[in-house]
Amino acid sequence: MIRLQTRTDSSTLMVFFSPLLALILTAFSTFVVFFLAGVDGFGAFYVLFIEPLTSLYSFSEMLVKAAPLIMIALGLSIGFRAGVWNIGAEGQYVIGAVAGSAVGLYFYEVEGFWLLPLMSLVAIIAGMSYAGIAAFLRTKYQVNEILVTLMLTYVAILFLSAMVHGPLRDPDGFNFPESRLFHDSATLPIIWQGTRVHIGLAVAVILAFVSYFWINKHITGLQIKISGNAPRAAKFAGFDENKTVWLSLLVSGGVAGLAGVFEATGPIGQLVPHLPSGYGFTAIIVAFLARLNPIGIIFSALLIALTYIGGESAQITYDLPNSITSIFQGMLLFYFLACDILIRYKFVFTFYQRQ
């Protein structure tokens, strides 16, 4: 008989070994999926995980995709620590992109160093306001924030479609549903010439370190951690639950909005209907893979970004469906959470003898 037994102390060894074990199990499962699809497992594995690292273009594109994942996951991790489940970062990401882009398009013929900061500020406020709807309903009427943020995502996507088909559509774009191309003052500076790597990556890394020190060195970070791990203790300590909910949702919404406008003004260069690319949902995986650690989020975002680039190559090389990337990401999260059980529990084998 096999059963799980609670450890007297958390296993330090498994804290470091469980991510490696999860990667091994994911790799093995990937081989099985490729085999069932009639594809050379070793070749597909190389294309998916190794080949993107050998090409300058693919590596730079991996960094481009990692930037919004880092930013959104940082905001979500703060709420998750507090037990506030913002599942609709995709919607806040879209709203931030629409609001910030609208400012850039309003000042379409105006040059100035102030324009990009203004667009970013408006995007942050828009993302915070959109997340604030869930915060208000949670604190005022005890409405579940998971449902509210998730449903508002679809509203945001439809709103984006309405804007690019209407007020924000390029008047010289032959009726295509897209905005004008942003001019230089409304476009993120490139920090790696010859690639699309923009300053948003540097901002994401800086935010990760700021978030780390805020969570671990500031009294507000302590309040967030206690509210998530021991709600009753937080209540006895005098921490206001409603303030924690508002803070968590506003921060995550604001950062997601900033990521949205960075994506529009960076690699895309305009507002388009396909701006929602699932980053808001994928960032949930990124946050949990990093165990909600801000520094770990940088590395988990790079890993997930690698699967995006490798998945695109695998689709072309082996004629695989575009869902192959989502399959890998889902398996990785599943195995990671499963293996983390071994930190606090251990397998116990009991043998019974026939009488």
pLDDT digits (tens, 9 = 90+) for 30-58: 888 888 878 887 888 888 888 889 989 99
Closest CA to 63 of 190, 234, 237, 251: 190
Spatial separation of the C-alpha atoms in residues 212 and 217, rounded to whole Å: 8
How far, in Å, CA of 253 to CA of 76, rounded?
Answer: 8
Mean pLDDT of the chain: 90
- % the chain with pLDDT above 90: 60
Q: What was the pLDDT predicted at 233?
A: 82
Does residue 322 carry a pLDDT above 70?
A: yes
Q: Which band of pLDDT confidence, cut at 50, 70 and 90, is reported for residue 192?
A: very high
The whole-number average pLDDT for the span 228-235 is 82
Read off the pLDDT of each residue in 186-210 and give the average, rounded to a whole number.
Answer: 95
pLDDT at 142: 93
0.85 exceeded by pTM? yes
Q: Which long-range contacts (CB under 8 A, 24 or more apart) does 11-14 make?
A: 11/342, 11/343, 11/344, 11/346, 14/339, 14/340, 14/342, 14/343
pLDDT value at 355 more than 60: no
For residues 100 and 337, the model is more confident at: 100
**pLDDT higher than 70, residue 354:** no
Which secondary-structure segment (H or E) carries 350? Answer: none
pLDDT reported for residue 39: 82
Q: Which residues share a beta bridge with 346?
A: 5
Q: Is the pLDDT of residue 306 over 90?
A: yes
> Is pLDDT of 173 > 90?
no
Exposed (0-12), middle (13-18) or buried (19+): which is 175, by Cβ within 10 Å?
A: exposed
The runs of H, that is alpha helices, within the chain are 12-36, 41-45, 51-54, 56-81, 89-106, 115-141, 145-165, 199-217, 219-229, 231-236, 241-263, 279-289, 294-318, 324-344
Angle, helices 199-217/294-318, rounded to nearest 10 degrees: 140
Q: What's the confidence (pLDDT) of residue 36?
A: 83
Between 56-81 and 294-318, two packed helices, what is the crossing angle to 10 degrees? Answer: 130
Out of 27-36, 78-87, 119-128, 237-246, the most confident range is 119-128
* CA 173, chain centre distance (Å): 32
Greater confidence (293 vs 320) lies with 293
Would you call 192 helix, strand, or coil by DSSP?
coil
Residue 296 clears pLDDT 80, i.e. is over it: yes
Q: Tell me the CA distances in angstroms from 352 to 5, 84, 355, one per residue in order.
A: 18, 45, 9
Cα dihedral 154, 259, 281, 24, rounded to 10, equals 160
Q: Is the dihedral of CA 87, 92, 93, 95 positive or negative?
A: positive
For residue 76, what pLDDT is reported? 96
Which range, of 249-263, 269-283, 304-318, 321-335, averages the lowest pLDDT?
321-335
Q: What are phi and psi of 21, to 5 degrees?
A: -65, -40
